[in-house]
Amino acid sequence: MNTLIETVKYFIIIAAELTVLFLGISTVVALVLMYLPQEKIKAWMSNKGILGNFVGAFLGSLTPFCACSTVPMTLGFLEIGVPFGATMSFVIASPLLNPIIIAMLLALMGLKVALIYFVIVFSAAIIFGIILEKSGMSKLVKNVRIKQGNRADDEVPQAFKAKLKLAFMKAWGDFYGILGYLLIGVGIGAIIYGYLPEDFVLKYAGPDNPFAIPIAALIGIPLYIRAETAIPIGLSLMQKGMSVGAVIALIIGGAGMAIPEMSMLAGIFKKKLVASIVIVIFLTAVIGGYIFNIL
């Protein structure tokens, strides 16, 4: 009975914390984006060299997009002549880096974990964006068009109160869309926290197992878990003895390889480029996991 009470208490506390975090951060981000004209963002991304990759990764880290928004924006960037490498940096950073993920890591795992995670993934988005462009992968873009849905350049009200209301409504809509994933993640995390034996976790995914990180990354890729689901699970596994590197590899592998996003990317990219993106996510997960364990 004590274990059940602790498990339920864990579920309620974590779910409440993440709800407040998600709504608060999403509202602020949506409000900030209203003051950033999309034309300027596209112009910044069009800078040649590493600056364009930096802006692409930064935009990906700032925008809590789902696949239905990320993919049309990717195609839009390519159609207006944004360099391929900068676009790829956006594609890599978008599912792995956004204020919600960073805020969740900060609240649940601490400043050091959140900061190192951001630096690793942001750097990987820039580096791999450059590598994909230098490798001639731009030839693997299909000549297709994707129907545009609601975009960030829709009409924005002038009054601050109206903007704030619109930002909160957008945040609420995004929250409603991921609520199921979040509750599943917190629920699984609570069960792990209350019932999974520590010895089992230490044996297969503890710091002493050198293969725990690549295995966690591989499990994450086909599993497809959103970061909002993976982070509460990872926190519980960490508390049971799983190495932080393996937890990070699981989060990157799962969140970075969203099945809907990869399916949509296959509509605008040829198979070889989609496979290259999968390899990039896997390498980011594994390298990032080992760096975490070293640090």
The tens place of each residue's pLDDT in the chain, 295 residues long, gives 557 887 788 788 878 877 887 788 778 767 876 776 666 766 777 766 788 888 888 888 876 555 555 666 777 677 677 888 888 998 888 878 877 778 878 877 788 888 999 999 999 999 999 999 898 888 888 765 444 444 444 566 778 888 888 888 877 886 776 677 677 767 776 776 676 666 665 666 666 777 888 888 777 665 555 666 677 777 777 777 778 888 888 888 877 766 656 766 777 788 888 888 888 888 988 998 899 888 7
For 97, the token pair is: 């880096």
The pLDDT value given to residue 205:
62
The pLDDT value given to residue 118:
92
Domain coverage including residue 162: 2-294
Nearest partner of 10 among 247, 239, 202, 245, judged by Cα: 239
Which residues partner with 238 through β-bridges?
A: none
Q: How far apart are CA 26 and CA 14, in angstroms?
A: 18
The pLDDT value given to residue 150:
42
The pLDDT value given to residue 258:
61
Number of domains in the chain: 1
Q: Which residues of 57-68 are buried (b: 16+ CB within 10 A; e: fewer)?
A: bbbbbbbbbbbe
- Give every CB contact of residue 146 below 8 A, 6+ residues apart in sequence: 71, 72, 75, 264, 267, 268
Q: How far is CA 234 from CA 8, 108, 206, 252, 281, in A?
A: 18, 10, 13, 11, 18
